[in-house]
Chain A
Amino acid sequence: MQRLLIFFIFLCANYTFSQETCTVSGHITDASDGETVIGAKVYIASIQKGAITNNYGFYSLTIPCGEYELEFRISGQRTEKKTIVLNGDFLLDYEMGANVQSIDEVVIRGDALDNTNSTKIGQIELDIAEIKTLPAFMGEVDIIKTIQLLPGVSSAAEGGQGFYVRGGGPDQNLVLLDEAVVYNAAHLFGFFSVFNADAVKNVNLIKGGMPANFGGRMSSVLEVNMNEGNYKKFKAKGGIGAISSRLTLEGPLKKDKGSFIVSGRRTYIDVIMRAAIPDSSPFSGSSYYFYDFNLKLNYKLTKKDKIYLSSYYGKDEFQFGNKDNDFQVDMPWGNAIVALRWNHIFSSKLFMNVSGTMTDYLFSFGSEQDQFRFELKSGIRDWGGKVDFSYFPNPRHRVKWGLNYTYHTFTPTSVSASSDDVEFDTGIAQKLFSHESAAYLLDEIDLNENFRINLGLRYSTFQHVGEFTRYIDGGISQPDSTITYGKGDLIQFYHGLEPRISLRWLLPDNSSIKAGWTYNYQYVHLTSLSAVSLPTDIWFPTTNIAKPQKGWQGSIGYFRNFNENKWETSAEVYYKDMRNLIEYKEGALPSDNVNDNTDNLLTFGRGWSYGAEFYIRRSFGKLTGWVGYTWSKTERLFDELNNGLKFPAKYDRRHDLSIVASYKLNDRWNFSAAFIYATGNTLTLPTSWYVQGQDLLFNYGSRNSTRMAPYHRLDLSAIWYSKAYKIKEDPEGNIIKTKKRFRSNWAFSIYNVYNRANPYFLYVDNDGDFLQGNFEISVKQVTLFPIIPSVTWNFEF
């Protein structure tokens, strides 16, 4: 470690140039709406030097002073040029596409050269416009379902929002919305994501080689950046679909200075259910809906200062009623997220972002029957702050450093129950408090034309503090006891160094080899009892019993572009080792933590995953899309589970193939298709049955020893766009095209085209009466979704 630090310090030393240097820096924005462009490239062909805009659209390029032709590239489909004379530091804010007339939604993504040039390994950016052209389940464009089509990423189950990256659990993904953590990114038991595509600008997935500015999770980072809103003019867009509708309004707060966007959507499943369930039905009180709102305000205070306020509020509301039994269940859950950020440019080489975030997730469950009443609540609230600096001393050297802090309040389970006026003793509502902080330094250096190294070091700490009551089970011989900690008392302190390294070796023929190694600590855990993701899954912090998860991942890959960068390909292999993973002990119930601590019910073990990923992508031309294939193996080993023997993880998949294609026939029609094939998920089924007290009971075998049938599915979609231009002839006979203010499209989708009955879960069913002699045991497969056509009408003006 000491040698590594010395090497690191050596690399951090300022890189000096013999020539006098000048710096050009600024923001790149889209001329049509003034939105900053993430991942745009500023490139100087004559010296083969360039820079890429960060998440705030900022770039900085330090080069020898002189006259240059700057190329501004976005999407690889458009390159614009501007000549500048550099004889000192130069602030250049550039508007892309000021002179371009296009009816297409602008596809904005990093240049394809990034595939081979950058040190990014295991990172994929997705364009929201591209996502919108892909087949959508029930017409709902879904970011998370799209990333599940990428190599190395698996879905939890049919339609589920939980995703598993390279063998890691769903809690090991850091999901960020404008830098605020999202704990539950799912609506409707996981079938829809909380991200409204109309409010999203860009999506970036990091599944390996996690840079040091990210931490707190072991497997991946999913960065979702919200649109900023139109700085030029007021606009509205929306859509009316089969199960939901949405509306987005955006416009300038002050032209070219500030903007806003507000976006909302709501499902009307409850309306459909009310119509479908007659009043006479005992279930007529049942309904479900979700809604969410996104709001973002942005303002350029000065040329060097900009502030952003982002917020999200969403809620699912499920109600179930049975009039016959006077039985009523009310189950709401949802997230509230706020992020306030301030960008400041200290100099053309030094950029700073300061963020303050608040995240709140709450699940509650209430039921009433006659005089009985039950209530259960669980949730998490974070208050966070961070500061990040980006320093660009020269084009061959980029440095980032920063500090993060989060104050967590966890409410694992709070239960109350009563019968008439008798209040049951359900213990005190437990809350757990903790401080999580980190400091990091990240340095990316081109050692020569071919070799680039990205070094990072992150130091993280975690303090579990009072108030807290520790319940100690005395077993059979001793009475149970408790230890009470006062407010702010330190209960446990953890800390650790998290070194990260990524390397890129540029090869001839537009190819490169990249390697990455990262070490991560994770201080929050998701405890789940069911085979599928539920809102009842409980977030739980590290305590003196639950140790932080930690582990490393190494990956190496070969990257090559073909046909003038029109085709990007990569092949990566990885190995991931994970310690202190968490599962419930055999037979634990989630509500057992009443008058007890959740971590007393947990058991700890290790896991590992290895695999190979192959990816071919085409981002240019009429036909775009990708093919991703993953071979992987993921296992777990817990002393107290499965008799101490290793077992496959429930999302262990040997093969996972995705083929995604989109074809733009002309300005009016776009067609797309997605095909998925995956080895079936594992599950635990009974291996035998026996009879006790006249009841037939099952005995389960090894954990996850049964594998469901393979999953495969084809989805198709077609989008028909209205005419975007009016064509007129002027008095001189010239054809004049004018852009229509109102534009719309019809998106037709067919989910599961060949109606494959994919397994959602299996169970062993017993039918008939054993004592009557007509008893049968069989294995049943439940399939959720048959072929589902949908149509959505989208508009904007």
Chain B
Amino acid sequence: MIKSITYQFILFASFIGLTVLLNGCTKEVTIDIPGYKEQLVIDGRIETDSPPFVLLSKSMEVYASTDLEAFLNGFISGAVVTVSNGTTTVTLSEICSDNLPPGTEELAASMFGIPVSELANYQLCAYTSFDPAIWGEIGKTYTLTVSYEGQTYTAETSIVSPTSFDNSYWQADGDTPNHGFSWVTLSDPGGVFDAYKWEVKRIDLDENGEERDQSFMPTFSPVFDDEFFDGLTFDFWYENPYAYGEGYTEDTEWLFEQGDTVVIKLSKMDEPLYEFMEKKYIQLQTAGNPFATPTNIPSNIQGGALGVWAGYSPSFDTLVCEP
């Protein structure tokens, strides 16, 4: 966390310095970018007590159309996808959004990236299994194999031991007495590599009597490792990633409001997955900054595909935002 934050701060400060001081101007240009080749993209996930879920798609040329319909309907079917936990190997079934088995809607919605209510409107296909023998278990390593168009791709991920917060609390920000960040006290296990991902959703009910947030959302810089705080106990905060845009002012955006009920999902991950996530968020946050190095995100997939096979070990904490 600290190293990526430090790096980003330096880049940010340099960039701000440059743009504030020099007031550069920007225009759209068309330029030849040679070297495009189509690659398979694997977006697979397995969590404790959840089925494996794998989406397959293809990479698109930079200048290709970004039509949502075409993309959503472009998930690949016809691949053979298996997951093994070392003793059991299961071939995943292809399921489609308009015909999901009961109980998988929320997971599917979060993987597809659309609200549960819209699942039926698209023909989105993914690979999963409802055989509990292959659902995520702490301490196991899962091997993914994808065979498609004569190519085979493999990846491994582990579900590591989870770590819960010691404590969580809400604290008003100085300028805005009814708004503040979510704070936690974390005791990091000593002597081992630990990496975390922070996601939240607010579960207090809205005017329609529904939970305010349908799914967990990662924060702005949601992954961090324990390189600098291995074995330490310390307090830190995270922002509310839902609180921006319409309805929020400069004083209230990114903050939780007094009275919010928030579920914090703190997922642990193994080192290769952290490598992917760390570089992914650096890429997302430094896009367009001339001081950033163009970095490809290191995949844990063998065989030339993009994406990641991600094993998460979450723990959950419910925070009521009251002083």
Question: CB within 8 Å of B: which of A297-328?
Answer: 318, 320, 324, 326
Whether B283 and A697, one on each chain, are in contact in the complex, defined by CB atoms closer than 8 angstroms, is yes
B250 interface neighbour in A188, A324, A372, A419, Cβ under 8 Å: A324
CB nearest neighbor in B for A688: B59
A331–B9 Cα distance when bound, in Å, is 11
Chain B nearest CB: distance from A545 CB in Å? 21
Chain A nearest CB: distance from B61 CB in Å? 6
Question: CB within 8 Å of A: which of B13-56?
Answer: 13-14, 16-18, 20-22, 24-39, 41, 43
Tell me whether A700 and B3 are in contact in the complex, defined as CB-CB below 8 angstroms, given that A688-B39, A781-B26, A783-B24 are known contacts.
no
Stretch in B79-87, B223-231, B256-264 touching the partner: B223-231
Whether A419 and B27, one on each chain, are in contact in the complex, defined by CB atoms closer than 8 angstroms, is no
Considering residues A691, A698, A771, A775, which has the most beta carbons from chain B within 10 angstroms of its beta carbon? A691
Whether A692 and B66, one on each chain, are in contact in the complex, defined by CB atoms closer than 8 angstroms, is no
- The interface residues of chain A lying within 8 Å CB-to-CB of B294 are 683-686, 700
Question: CB within 8 Å of B: which of A370-426?
Answer: 370-372, 374, 376, 415, 417, 419-420, 422, 424-426
CB nearest neighbor in A for B31: A779
Q: Does A46 contact B (CB under 8 A)?
A: no
Chain B nearest CB: distance from A797 CB in Å? 34
Tell me whether A425 and B61 are in contact in the complex, defined as CB-CB below 8 angstroms, given that A692-B307, A692-B308, A697-B280 are known contacts.
no
Whether A318 and B17, one on each chain, are in contact in the complex, defined by CB atoms closer than 8 angstroms, is yes
Whether A762 and B57, one on each chain, are in contact in the complex, defined by CB atoms closer than 8 angstroms, is no
A763–B62 Cα distance when bound, in Å, is 11
- The interface residues of chain A lying within 8 Å CB-to-CB of B229 are 422, 424-425
Question: CB within 8 Å of B: which of A162-190?
Answer: 188-189
- The interface residues of chain B lying within 8 Å CB-to-CB of A415 are 2-3, 6
A595–B225 Cα distance when bound, in Å, is 14
Whether A687 and B26, one on each chain, are in contact in the complex, defined by CB atoms closer than 8 angstroms, is no
B290 interface neighbour in A282, A283, A777, A782, Cβ under 8 Å: A782
B284 interface neighbour in A269, A695, A770, A778, Cβ under 8 Å: A695
Whether A189 and B36, one on each chain, are in contact in the complex, defined by CB atoms closer than 8 angstroms, is no
- The interface residues of chain B lying within 8 Å CB-to-CB of A766 are 287
Question: CB within 8 Å of A: which of B210-256?
Answer: 227-230, 232-237, 250-251
Q: Does A786 contact B (CB under 8 A)?
A: yes
Question: CB within 8 Å of A: which of B246-305?
Answer: 250-251, 271, 275, 279-280, 282-284, 287-298
Chain A, 517-539, contact with B by CB distance < 8 Å: what is the 0/1 string? 00000000000011110101000
CB nearest neighbor in A for B305: A690
Chain A nearest CB: distance from B29 CB in Å? 4
- The interface residues of chain B lying within 8 Å CB-to-CB of A320 are 13, 16-17
CB nearest neighbor in A for B40: A690
Q: Does A124 contact B (CB under 8 A)?
A: no
Q: Does A706 contact B (CB under 8 A)?
A: yes
Tell me whether A269 and B292 are in contact in the complex, defined as CB-CB below 8 angstroms, given that A331-B13, A592-B3, A687-B36 are known contacts.
no
CB nearest neighbor in B for A190: B18
Stretch in A56-64, A252-260, A583-591 touching the partner: A583-591
- The interface residues of chain A lying within 8 Å CB-to-CB of B17 are 189, 288, 318, 320, 331
Q: Does A744 contact B (CB under 8 A)?
A: no
Question: CB within 8 Å of A: which of B60-83?
Answer: 60-64, 66-69, 71
Q: Does A654 contact B (CB under 8 A)?
A: no
Question: CB within 8 Å of B: which of A589-628?
Answer: 589-592, 594-595
Whether B228 and A779, one on each chain, are in contact in the complex, defined by CB atoms closer than 8 angstroms, is no
CB nearest neighbor in A for B292: A530
Question: CB within 8 Å of B: which of A666-699?
Answer: 683-695, 697-699
Q: Does A8 contact B (CB under 8 A)?
A: no
Whether B235 and A587, one on each chain, are in contact in the complex, defined by CB atoms closer than 8 angstroms, is no
B296 interface neighbour in A425, A534, A587, Cβ under 8 Å: A587
B57 interface neighbour in A419, A691, A706, A785, Cβ under 8 Å: A691
Tell me whether A697 and B297 are in contact in the complex, defined as CB-CB below 8 angstroms, given that A687-B61, A689-B60 are known contacts.
yes
CB nearest neighbor in B for A768: B66
Q: Does A732 contact B (CB under 8 A)?
A: no
- The interface residues of chain A lying within 8 Å CB-to-CB of B279 are 587
Chain B nearest CB: distance from A186 CB in Å? 13
Whether A422 and B234, one on each chain, are in contact in the complex, defined by CB atoms closer than 8 angstroms, is yes
A638–B278 Cα distance when bound, in Å, is 25
Whether B18 and A763, one on each chain, are in contact in the complex, defined by CB atoms closer than 8 angstroms, is no
Q: Does B107 contact A (CB under 8 A)?
A: no
Q: Does B10 contact A (CB under 8 A)?
A: yes
Chain B nearest CB: distance from A317 CB in Å? 11
Chain A, 275-306, contact with B by CB distance < 8 Å: what is the 0/1 string? 00000001100101000000000000000000
Whether B31 and A708, one on each chain, are in contact in the complex, defined by CB atoms closer than 8 angstroms, is yes
Q: Does B113 contact A (CB under 8 A)?
A: yes
Q: Does B205 contact A (CB under 8 A)?
A: no
CB nearest neighbor in B for A595: B227
Chain B nearest CB: distance from A373 CB in Å? 11
A170–B235 Cα distance when bound, in Å, is 43
Whether B234 and A419, one on each chain, are in contact in the complex, defined by CB atoms closer than 8 angstroms, is yes
Whether B235 and A778, one on each chain, are in contact in the complex, defined by CB atoms closer than 8 angstroms, is no
A689–B67 Cα distance when bound, in Å, is 13
Whether B288 and A590, one on each chain, are in contact in the complex, defined by CB atoms closer than 8 angstroms, is no
- The interface residues of chain A lying within 8 Å CB-to-CB of B39 are 688, 690, 699
Q: Does A702 contact B (CB under 8 A)?
A: yes
Q: Does B130 contact A (CB under 8 A)?
A: no
Whether B234 and A189, one on each chain, are in contact in the complex, defined by CB atoms closer than 8 angstroms, is no
Q: Does B5 contact A (CB under 8 A)?
A: yes
Whether B250 and A282, one on each chain, are in contact in the complex, defined by CB atoms closer than 8 angstroms, is yes
CB nearest neighbor in B for A693: B43
CB nearest neighbor in B for A764: B62
Whether B35 and A705, one on each chain, are in contact in the complex, defined by CB atoms closer than 8 angstroms, is yes
Q: Does B114 contact A (CB under 8 A)?
A: yes
CB nearest neighbor in B for A590: B7
B175 interface neighbour in A324, A586, A762, Cβ under 8 Å: A324
Whether A690 and B59, one on each chain, are in contact in the complex, defined by CB atoms closer than 8 angstroms, is yes
A630–B183 Cα distance when bound, in Å, is 60
Q: Does A490 contact B (CB under 8 A)?
A: no
- The interface residues of chain A lying within 8 Å CB-to-CB of B284 are 695, 697
A532–B287 Cα distance when bound, in Å, is 15
B25 interface neighbour in A591, A763, A786, Cβ under 8 Å: A786
Q: Does B150 contact A (CB under 8 A)?
A: no
Whether B295 and A700, one on each chain, are in contact in the complex, defined by CB atoms closer than 8 angstroms, is yes
A685 interface neighbour in B4, B33, B293, Cβ under 8 Å: B33
- The interface residues of chain A lying within 8 Å CB-to-CB of B68 are 770-773, 775
Q: Does B92 contact A (CB under 8 A)?
A: no
- The interface residues of chain A lying within 8 Å CB-to-CB of B119 are none
Whether A189 and B62, one on each chain, are in contact in the complex, defined by CB atoms closer than 8 angstroms, is no
Q: Does B306 contact A (CB under 8 A)?
A: yes
Q: Does A509 contact B (CB under 8 A)?
A: no
CB nearest neighbor in B for A427: B228
Whether B287 and A687, one on each chain, are in contact in the complex, defined by CB atoms closer than 8 angstroms, is no
Tell me whether A318 and B13 are in contact in the complex, defined as CB-CB below 8 angstroms, given that A779-B29, A781-B27, A782-B25 are known contacts.
yes
A231–B41 Cα distance when bound, in Å, is 74
A367–B11 Cα distance when bound, in Å, is 13
Q: Does B101 contact A (CB under 8 A)?
A: no
Whether A594 and B113, one on each chain, are in contact in the complex, defined by CB atoms closer than 8 angstroms, is no
Q: Which 6 A-B pairs have the closest CB atoms?
A: A701-B35, A694-B113, A424-B228, A761-B290, A591-B3, A688-B59
Enumerate 25 A-B pairs (CB-CB under 8 Å) in ascending A order: A188-B21, A419-B236, A420-B234, A422-B233, A530-B292, A586-B298, A591-B2, A687-B61, A695-B280, A698-B62, A699-B39, A701-B33, A701-B36, A702-B35, A706-B31, A706-B33, A709-B29, A757-B27, A759-B29, A762-B31, A770-B71, A771-B68, A779-B31, A782-B24, A783-B24
Q: A531-B290, A775-B66, A779-B28 are in contact. List 14 more A-B contacts (CB 8 A).
A: A286-B16, A374-B6, A424-B2, A476-B271, A686-B294, A688-B37, A689-B59, A690-B59, A760-B24, A763-B288, A765-B288, A777-B66, A781-B27, A782-B26
B-binding residues in A (CB < 8 A): 188-189, 191, 269, 273, 282-283, 286, 288, 318, 320, 324, 326, 329, 331, 365, 367, 370-372, 374, 376, 415, 417, 419-420, 422, 424-426, 476, 529-532, 534, 536, 584, 586-587, 589-592, 594-595, 683-695, 697-702, 705-709, 757, 759-766, 770-773, 775-786
